[in-house]
Structure 1
Amino acid sequence: MTTNHKNDTQIPWELIDTAPIPGQGTELQLFQREGEFSISILDGGVLMSTWAHQSEDALAQLPCAKIVNRNQPRVLIGGLGMGFTLAAALKTLGPEAKVVVAELVPGLIEWNRGTLGKYAGHPLQDPRTQVRVGDVAKVLREQRQAYDAILLDVDNGPHAITRKKNNWLYTTDGLTEAYRALRPEGILAIWSAGPDREFMQRLQKIGFKVKQVRVREHQNKGDLHAIWFAEREAW
């Protein structure tokens, strides 16, 4: 996901660690400036920040609020990021829920277990959390009707910028796999840097009923992101 930093150009950013992206020949870079952290891709833009995560929170809040009263709800999150979507899901769900997080980059998981953990409230330490190291596409294919909600915050949405293979998730084939992995009345939520009418129509053709929400990245400021909430059944 792309985001902006606070408007403070006086204090320089310091590169404190890197993490290779498997199969890509490039890496994620972790930067620090005073009490703020950001993650960039090598030779690319800023992907995420500890300062701006309002849209990542929203990705989890609505779907999890709708499934919270189901029997032992199960959630799959594609993309750990800085842990804010996971934290929002856990905060919304009850004690019987289980949340599976699929993250491709092992180094990103380690950052969340260490330096970044406190910013989202250490959600990886929650006993309801299960971490899967690898591509969320593989997890989607493993089981049918396994999840009450699937939350995808992979790359930059339907137009991948960090890993070309991520585009598959947003194709008809990838979305069909997500549909099959959902339980009846399950919800697929997808984060994107911006709206995409063609992609919304693709979701509808597969059989989802789709609602698009626009969310600012931080306290009604910054970039205006898009989130699609797609249900197997009617709202």
Structure 2
Amino acid sequence: MIPWIPLDTATLPGANRELRLKRRGAEFSIMLGTIELMNSRLSGSEEALATLVATRLAGRDKPRILIGGLGMGFTLRAALSSFPAGAEITVSELIPAVVDWARGPMAELFAGCLDDPRVTIAVEDVGRVIADGAGRYDAILLDVDNGPEALTVAANDRLYEDGGLGLAKAALRPGGILAVWSQGPDRRFAARLRHAGFAVEEVMVRAHRGKAGARHIIWLARKA
């Protein structure tokens, strides 16, 4: 068996914890302690986060999209393929090292998409970007942490609380969509979305592109 090779580590902002980037052959993994947060073999649900929204926003020629969390770039690449050529896509990533990994050891996964003229990378807390973007976006795609329950950075919880959902709604244009990726279902969060005034659709998708394996949840919350 090909061994895992450690490539780099990154300290999480405001926490005494670190991410570890590893490689085994052509496979990459990002770990938090003993928990695997991302693996380059599992891209299906991250891609669906973009493709499901693009389908529902078909007809908007120049949509403005905000992606929270760069990860391994699966959502970004799917967005570039799914949204029209006139789209403007901003990716907000809290951890500078993740952007460095995208341009360095994981550059082959990203295939130059960070240099696409439609893409802007903001090394910043996505909560701040949302708060500063009233009425700006057609879609906000959140793949931050493990879903509505923070795993890596405790401050991420505020994105999914009533105040954070209110800011996200204010940042959307009429008919815009807040899409949220989650490791699994969360009835309380779905109810919170509805309480915030969104029309909510819950979609179960495969972590892998195939027909087997784990299932993840994507909430598609549309602003009236």
Q: What interval of TM-score do these two structures reach, taking the shorter chain for normalisation?
A: over 0.9
Secondary structure at the counterpart of residue 221 of structure 1:
coil
Matches within 5 A, 1:8-157: 10-41=1-32, 43-157=33-147
Matches of 2:187 and 2:204 in 1, distance apart? 13
CA shift for structure 1 position 69? 2.6
Secondary structure at the counterpart of residue 55 of structure 1:
helix
CA shift for structure 1 position 139? 0.4
Partner residue of 1:3?
none
Secondary structure at the counterpart of residue 214 of structure 2:
strand
Contiguous gaps of at least 5 residues in structure 2:
none
Indicate if the aligned counterparts of 1:211 and 1:229 stay in contact, CA closer than 8 A: yes
CA shift for structure 1 position 64? 1.8
Matches of 1:36 and 1:122 in 2, distance apart? 18
Matches of 1:122 and 1:45 in 2, distance apart? 28
- TM-score (norm: length of structure 1): 0.91
Matches within 5 A, 1:205-216: 205-216=195-206
Q: Which amino acid aligns with 2:139?
A: A
Q: Using a 3 Å threshold, how does the CA distance of structure 1 residues 220 and 122 change in structure 2: closer, same or farther? A: farther
- TM-score (norm: length of structure 2): 0.96
> Which runs of structure 1 show a deviation greater than 3 angstroms over 4 or more consecutive aligned residues?
none
Secondary structure at the counterpart of residue 56 of structure 2:
helix
Partner residue of 1:226?
217
CA shift for structure 1 position 206? 0.7
Indicate if the aligned counterparts of 1:112 and 1:122 stay in contact, CA closer than 8 A: no
Matches of 1:163 and 1:92 in 2, distance apart? 30
CA shift for structure 1 position 68? 4.3
CA shift for structure 1 position 25? 2.2
Secondary structure at the counterpart of residue 213 of structure 2:
strand
Q: Which amino acid aligns with 1:99?
A: I
Indicate if the aligned counterparts of 1:216 and 1:222 stay in contact, CA closer than 8 A: yes
Indicate if the aligned counterparts of 2:67 and 2:89 stay in contact, CA closer than 8 A: yes
Q: Which amino acid aligns with 2:107?
A: G
Indicate if the aligned counterparts of 2:142 and 2:179 stay in contact, CA closer than 8 A: yes
Indicate if the aligned counterparts of 2:94 and 2:124 stay in contact, CA closer than 8 A: yes
Q: Which amino acid aligns with 1:20?
A: T
Secondary structure at the counterpart of residue 51 of structure 1:
coil
CA shift for structure 1 position 71? 3.8
Identity %: 48
Number of matched residues?
223
